Amino acid sequence: DAKTTQPPSMDCAEGRAANLPCNHSTISGNEYVYWYRQIHSQGPQYIIHGLKNNETNEMASLIITEDRKSSTLILPHATLRDTAVYYCIVRPSNSNSGYALNFGKGTSLLVTP
Amino acid sequence: DTAVSQTPKYLVTQMGNDKSIKCEQNLGHDTMYWYKQDSKKFLKIMFSYNNKELIINETVPNRFSPKSPDKAHLNLHINSLELGDSAVYFCASSPVLGRRLRVDYGYTFGSGTRLTVV
């Protein structure tokens, strides 16, 4: 699986957009980019995923560069409840019987009042 | 509520004891997992079962034995507990991907079991 690189920590003011970058320069053509987050003392939570097109859902937007070597997770209006560790993960799309998520160190996002 | 539920939430036990953690999902997913999160907060996969069949078995001591009586349940039994087993253990499930599945919502995790070995 391709490895990802994320900044260890970021701050964001409440109400502002939080832009979390991720580098995955060794990503291969059949690998998706997934984002999860883990709020303190809770289980990780799925946020969004994409292959090559930009994606948006009720939680966030995912912008993937054209060469797919990096992506950015955007929380459009960060709230204090978005304070969490955010993980960028790549995995193959052909895992029909289950797949391991390789969590790295993630980015610890602190949303401040 | 549809969810992945695991019990107990907290488990404090002495070294050498045997303990089990139970996990159940009512999401209709085909695959279930156990992850371990150590004191440094790294999340690592331990096991994965697909329709009661073991498909992922990482380098985990033989003292850890998963058991899947059906595809909605994946229990974790730990023999002869050691201090280093202290961690938070997360159960998760995911649907099988394929043409029949139009939407992938990734994994759903349980809320974790904090195991403390004293």
B83: three-class secondary structure by DSSP: helix
Q: Judge: A85–B44 Cβ closer than 8 Å, yes or no.
A: no
| pLDDT confidence of residue A82 | 97
Confidence of residue B105 (pLDDT cuts 50, 70, 90): low
B74-83 pLDDT, tens digit per residue, is 999 999 999 9
pLDDT at B99 over 50: no
Q: Judge: A103–B30 Cβ closer than 8 Å, yes or no.
A: no
A105 contacts in chain B (CB < 8 Å)? 42
Comparing alpha-carbon positions, the chain B residue that sits nearest to A34 is: B106
Quote the DSSP letter at residue A82. G
Q: Any CB–CB contact under 8 A between A9 and chain B?
A: no
Q: Any CB–CB contact under 8 A between B9 and chain A?
A: no
| pLDDT confidence of residue B50 | 84
Comparison of pLDDT for B98 and A40, the residue scoring more: A40
pLDDT at B26 over 60: yes
Quote the minimal CA–CA distance from B38 to chain A in Å.
12
Mean pLDDT of B72-97: 92
Task: Tokens for A74, please give them.
Answer: 């955007």
How big is the CA angle at B115 (ends B87 and B73), to the nearest 5 degrees? 100
Q: Any CB–CB contact under 8 A between B43 and chain A?
A: yes
B109 contacts in chain A (CB < 8 Å)? 43-45
pLDDT at A95 over 80: no
Comparison of pLDDT for B103 and B23, the residue scoring more: B23
pLDDT at A65 over 50: yes
Residue in the block written with tokens 């995955």:
A24
| pLDDT confidence of residue B102 | 46
pLDDT at B33 over 70: yes
A73-84 pLDDT, tens digit per residue, is 999 999 999 999
| pLDDT confidence of residue B117 | 97
A81: three-class secondary structure by DSSP: helix
Cα separation, B38 vs A8, in Å, equals: 18
B84 class by beta-carbon count within 10 Å (0-12 exposed, 13-18 middle, 19+ buried):
exposed
Q: Any CB–CB contact under 8 A between B107 and chain A?
A: yes
| pLDDT confidence of residue B52 | 78
A97 contacts in chain B (CB < 8 Å)? 30-31, 50, 55, 96
| pLDDT confidence of residue A96 | 53
pLDDT at B101 over 50: no
Q: Judge: B111–A42 Cβ closer than 8 Å, yes or no.
A: yes
Mean pLDDT of A43-63: 93
Q: Is the Cα torsion angle B94, B98, B100, B105 positive or negative in sign?
A: positive
Q: Judge: B97–A93 Cβ closer than 8 Å, yes or no.
A: yes
Task: Tokens for A82, please give them.
Answer: 């978005």
| pLDDT confidence of residue B56 | 79
| pLDDT confidence of residue B60 | 87
Lowest mean pLDDT among A50-64, A90-104, B1-15, B42-56: A90-104
Residues 6 or more apart whose CB falls under 8 angstroms from that of B85 comprise B78, B115, B117
Task: Tokens for A106, please give them.
Answer: 């993630």
CB B34 within 8 A of CB B91: yes
Characterize A72-88 residue by residue with b for buried, 16 or more Cβ atoms within 10 angstroms of its Cβ, and e for exposed.
bbbbeebeeebbbbbbb
pLDDT at B104 over 80: no
Residue A24 dihedral angles phi and psi, to the nearest 5°:
-140, 65
Chain B 60-89, residues with CB within 8 Å of chain A CB atoms: none
